[in-house]
Amino acid sequence: TIKRFRRHGHESQRDRLKQELFHFNKTVEHGFPHQPSALGYSPSLQLLAIGNRSGAIKLYGAPGVEFMGLHDENAAVTQVHFLPHQVELVTLLDDNSLHMWTLRAHKGLSELLEIGRFMLTGPPGSASQSPNSSWTDISFLILLSLLCTSVPDDYIGRRNLEHVEALQENPVNPNQVVIGYGRGLMIIWDLEKQRAIQHIPATQQLESVWWTEDGSYILSSHSDGSYCRWMVGAEDVNEEEEKSDIPYGHFPCKAISKIVQLPTEKGPPFLLFSGGMPRASYGDRHCITVIQNKTQVALDLTSRIIDFFVIRDGPKHTDPSALVVLVEEELVVIDLQTEGWPVIQTPYLVPLHSSAITCSHHISTIPIKLWERVIAAGELQNTHYSKKPWPITGGQNLAPDPPQRDLLLTGHEDGTVCFWDASGVCLYPMYKLSTAAVFHTDADPNDNMNQGTEGEWPPFRKVGCFDPYSDDPRLGIQKIHLCKYSGYLTVAGTAGQILVLELNDEAAEQTVEAKVVDLLQGQEGFRWKGHTRLDVREEPVLFPPGFQPFALVQCQPPAVVTALTLHSEWKLVAFGTSHGFGLYDYQQKNNVLIKCTLNPSDQLAMEGPLSRVKSIKKSLRQSFRRMRRSRVSLRKHHVNNYSVPYTQIQDANARLEAELAEMELAPVQRKIEARSSDDSFTGLVRTLYFADTFLSDSSHNTPSLWAGTNGGCVFAFMLRLPPVEHRADEPEIQLMHRAPVVGIVVLDGHGAPLPEPLEVAHDLARSPDLQGSHHLLVISEEQFKVFTLPKVSAKMKLKLTAVDGSRVRRVGVAWFGSSRSEDYGESGLVVLTNQGDLHVVSLPGVKMQVQYPCIRREDVSGIASCVFTKHGQGFYLISPSEFERFSLSTRHVVEPRCLVEVPLHSDNSTKHRPLHDGFSSAHGCVPSPSCLLFFFFHIGRNARHDSEDPGNMSFRGSTSRSKMHVPLAE
């Protein structure tokens, strides 16, 4: 009983401690929303809203002010409208449902909540099937009968009038709205008198309308690339003549989908419209034209235009100051008050996928000197941006300042590496490195065709940074390693290239010579069938300030680099591919070590990435063979006849083999597969690790290199420094179940992971304990195993594989600080499995602490993209353009903490405001339900009022019990 009580007391204390150390949160999404479909803006709140095709709605204000909501329906958001001078907004989905959202304050912070919905159960355009059909039907029929009065014969007929293409309120008289129909007819309707006061019979198919600020003109844009200006107030229809202009005629042009005209305080107005390009010559361009006085520019955007709006400032908030354009792959903001109309750099919503992301690397706690040098290099790249501050400033960012400076590095398909400030909620671009200049590539001859030359027509100007084109896919960055203390950076690519770079504040012209490494070491019978290596430029190249390459290693065969690490104190870089690994001294520019890991039977490793069909066939055959073998018995593997001077390693292997064969399995666990040595890619190097530890005896620590392969081999090499060109004999640990080795960690005498290179020299970590024995932790896909060093005897293990077949996909060491005590914390191993689960394993005890579901098991790309931080956070791609950030730590959490308050305004100041902020016209996907519904709110004001609140109309959604209050025109 006493023993049970002690054990129970200990477990309770440990459970309390776990609660202080570990807590899982998905905290913020970085990047650009995938497949955006709608744009909204509130001038009073100064908030931007973006809806996407999967039903997500995101709000952005000042940097750090972010909100996200998700509709229950998996339907595209087609429109977003803010209610004026309130913290509410309405969304329309393409399933004909309207949703009401509010920013509700809770404990001093705002939350985005859905508070009601309204279903239109009929097909798009059929509003009469709504829950309020008792008044909408009557209003609709009255409306049709009144509209048909004095309408030309060509327009008579309910079918022609049903399709509402555009709707806008008179800016100076809220009792008047213009209704535009698809065939071109526009009707100005008086809400108070309930009658049509003017018909505008356009002859071309209507795309959008715009009512000028003084109320005197209506602009209409059409499907033939024309726009027309109509005077308001002409009593006789025949008095109004169609004044048409085709800006980019005379040849057939594409539709002008949206048109806006805005006055300025002291000069001529701005005219802006999207589309209208000559169909034959430039039909594939995505353009917004800006015209003021004699200046005209066709902004040539990088992808399809979703929508745009203009932000206005000045004493009366009338002067256009910035054009905000949402396109399919990025958000572009143009400064309209600076000469040349330059782009304003965005502090968020940056397209991470300007070129497709191929890898990521996170570095915590960057020293201030390196941070400032990276910023300085980045500022030299951004001189073309506007000097104006970010114009969207709504809400208050109440999050505390980040406790440290963190960098996230992303490698891209075009050979670039982007440096991002990952310290806070906004993932801000700092600097961009390009490696393409080192090599000869096929540059795009059309690179400069969109820059525009004087006198060119149309007057194109390319804007935006999304560019999925890559000069050469072999440039793709696969691995990155940055030493934050020395400023040395190494990047490795798709064609076996490894570049070593150093940070230089000045431009430098230099030649980068390639050192070729033959990983096959002359073995015969192998022929590489994949891509060729990149051609290195022999002439000097001028590299701008920033990271500049000074050493290049080229692997032969030029296969994808699968593992990379750098030790800046020893001036060494280790790299691995599917054929072997090597060690390079970048100070002396010499190869120190080459080790071939290719199995003679593994011909697939010689195929290269282009032979996927054969790869799939072979892997399937091997999977079936493996399943048949595992049913019979565990197969015993024998250590290769490899000359190993350390007999204790051979003894350890024999003990491991016997242990594996005789181990008893718990009922909930399945047997770990005895993998065949002829499996594909057994020689692929999965992990590389430098450690100063005990390898030859227990009294002399020595530098060492460790490598783990897909076939379960762990190689250890003792390094003599200096000189590093002499290497010692090589012990090899063979994991008998041969599961791929995905991680290697050496723990010191206190059980703590060894510090990073130069970390102790900079007084940022304590010196490792070199008195007691060290331990080697080997993480394979299926288990965690601890060996003593230098005896290499197994001490303890933890099997991950259970009935669900979990396997380790990502692993990292993190520090977890207590939320209750500043002085207490623990190191732990963070693990992501192929099931998408996160585990924390204690060190050095190797015991499972917590488990959380994180990523859907079907999301293979999300699992493959995951990267951990040193303080218990992580990132993974939820789409090609977005990182999801998560935290496993109670102390280190980065998440939005912001407040949006109802703006102060007087009744007089809003007397002539539009129906809702930013509302101009309904155009695009499914305009009819929204346009008619907002119109019914006006014409139904006498038909049905909320008795408790005569100024508002309420309605209930079919699946929600909460009331939705929609204000009438102010």
pLDDT of residue 49: 98
Higher pLDDT, 954 or 896: 896
Q: What is the pLDDT of residues 198-233, one digit of tens each?
A: 989 888 899 999 999 999 999 999 999 999 999 998
Q: In the prediction, which pLDDT does 363 show?
A: 97
Check: CB of residue 34 under 8 Å from CB of residue 68.
no
Confidence (pLDDT) at 630: 38
The residue-averaged pLDDT of 566-575 equals 95
State the pLDDT at residue 652: 43
pLDDT digits (tens, 9 = 90+) for 765-819: 888 887 778 999 999 999 999 998 888 888 898 988 655 679 999 999 999 999 9
What pLDDT, on the 0 to 100 scale, is given for residue 9?
Answer: 59
Select the more confidently predicted residue: 859 or 121: 859
The contacts of residue 712 (CB under 8 Å, 6+ apart) are 675, 682, 734, 735, 736, 737, 738, 739, 740, 741, 780
Asked if the model's pLDDT at residue 430 lies above 70, the reply is yes
Domain residues for the domain of 60 are 34-124
pLDDT of residue 912: 41
581: CB partners within 8 A, 6+ apart: 519, 563, 574, 575, 593, 595, 597, 685, 688, 707, 715
Give the C-alpha separation, 940 to 953, whole Å: 9
* Residue 94: inside a domain: yes
Reading the block at residue 253, the tokens are: 């042009």
3-state helix, strand, coil in the chain (%, to 5): 15, 40, 45
What is the CA angle 835-838-839, rounded to 5? 115
Which DSSP state fits 658? H
Distance, CA of 115 to CA of 673 (rounded, Å) = 52
pLDDT, greater one: 339 or 624? 339
In whole angstroms, give the CA distance from residue 756 to residue 744: 14
Q: How far apart are CA 253 and CA 276, in angstroms?
A: 6
**Which one has a higher pLDDT value, 970 or 736?**
736
Residue 815 within any structural domain of the chain: no
| Alpha-carbon dihedral angle through residues 568, 572, 573, 575, given to the nearest 10 degrees | -140
What is the DSSP secondary structure assignment for residue 827, as one 8-state letter? E
Query: Mean pLDDT in the chain?
Result: 81
CB 533 within 8 A of CB 496: yes
Q: Is residue 47 part of a domain?
A: yes
* pLDDT reported for residue 151: 64
Q: Model confidence over 815-874: pLDDT tens digits?
A: 999 999 999 999 999 999 999 999 999 999 999 999 999 999 999 999 999 999 999 999
Band (pLDDT 50/70/90 cuts) for residue 679 is: low
The pLDDT confidence band at residue 266, using thresholds 50, 70 and 90, is confident
Q: Answer yes or no: is 843 within a domain.
A: no
In tens, the pLDDT along 124-137 reads: 544 333 333 333 44
Residue 538: is its pLDDT beyond 80?
Answer: yes
- Position 837 scores a pLDDT of 96
The predicted model gives 944-948 an average pLDDT of 32
pLDDT digits (tens, 9 = 90+) for 720-751: 876 444 444 556 676 666 789 999 999 998 88
Of the pLDDT bands very low, low, confident and very high (cuts 50, 70, 90), residue 627 is: very low
Strand partners, 697: none
The model's pLDDT over 79-112, given as tens digits with 9 standing for 90+, comes to: 999 999 999 999 999 999 999 999 999 999 999 9
pLDDT at 534 over 60: yes
Distance of CA 816 to the CA centre of its chain: 26
Torsion sign (Cα): 324, 325, 326, 332: negative
Strand 563-567 relative to strand 546-556, pairing: unpaired
Does the pLDDT at position 370 exceed 70?
Answer: yes
Tokens of 610: 């282009």
What pLDDT is stored for residue 7 in this prediction? 54
Q: What is the pLDDT of residue 8?
A: 57
How buried is 85 (Cβ within 10 angstroms: 0-12 exposed, 13-18 middle, 19+ buried)?
buried
Angle between helices 133-147 and 927-939 (to 10 degrees): 90
Within a domain: residue 81?
A: yes
pLDDT at 267: 87
In total, how many domains does the chain have? 1
Q: pLDDT at position 468, please? A: 84
Q: With respect to residue 112, please indicate whether it lies within any of the assigned structural domains.
A: yes
pLDDT at 373 over 80: yes
Distance CA 105, CA 900 (A): 8
pLDDT computed for residue 877 by the predictor: 97
Q: What is the pLDDT of residue 455?
A: 67
Question: Does 850 or 454 have the greater pLDDT score?
Answer: 850
In a domain, 557, yes or no: no
Which tens digits make up the pLDDT trace of 232-253?
A: 986 554 444 567 899 998 899 9
- 123 vs 634: which has the higher pLDDT: 123
646-657 pLDDT per residue, tens: 344 444 444 444
Higher pLDDT, 159 or 307: 307
Output the CA torsion sign for 641, 645, 647, 648. Answer: negative
Residue identified by tokens 């230099």 is: 510
Is 498 a residue whose pLDDT tops 50? yes
pLDDT top residue among 827 and 950: 827
Q: Which of 139, 88, 121 is nearest to 929 (CA)?
A: 121
Continuous H helices in 341-422: 368-381
Q: Residue 897: its pLDDT value, please?
A: 96
Does residue 665 register a pLDDT over 70?
no
CA–CA dist 740, 711 (Å, integer): 5
Residue 301 CB contacts under 8 Å (≥ 6 apart), including other chains = 286, 287, 288, 325, 327, 332, 463, 464
Stretch 941-963: mean pLDDT? 31
757-772 confidence digits (pLDDT tens): 988 888 878 888 877 7
Tokens of 704: 């060492």
- Residue 309, in any domain of the structure: no
Which of the two residues, 612 and 561, has the higher pLDDT score? 561
Dump pLDDT digits (tens) for 414-428.
999 999 999 999 999
Residue 881: name the closest of 357, 411, 274 by CA.
357
| pLDDT at 929 exceeding the cut of 80 | no
Determine the pLDDT at residue 738: 72
pTM: 0.84
Q: What is the pLDDT of residue 453?
A: 55
Q: Tell me which of 487-491, 492-496, 680-684, 883-887 is least confident.
A: 680-684
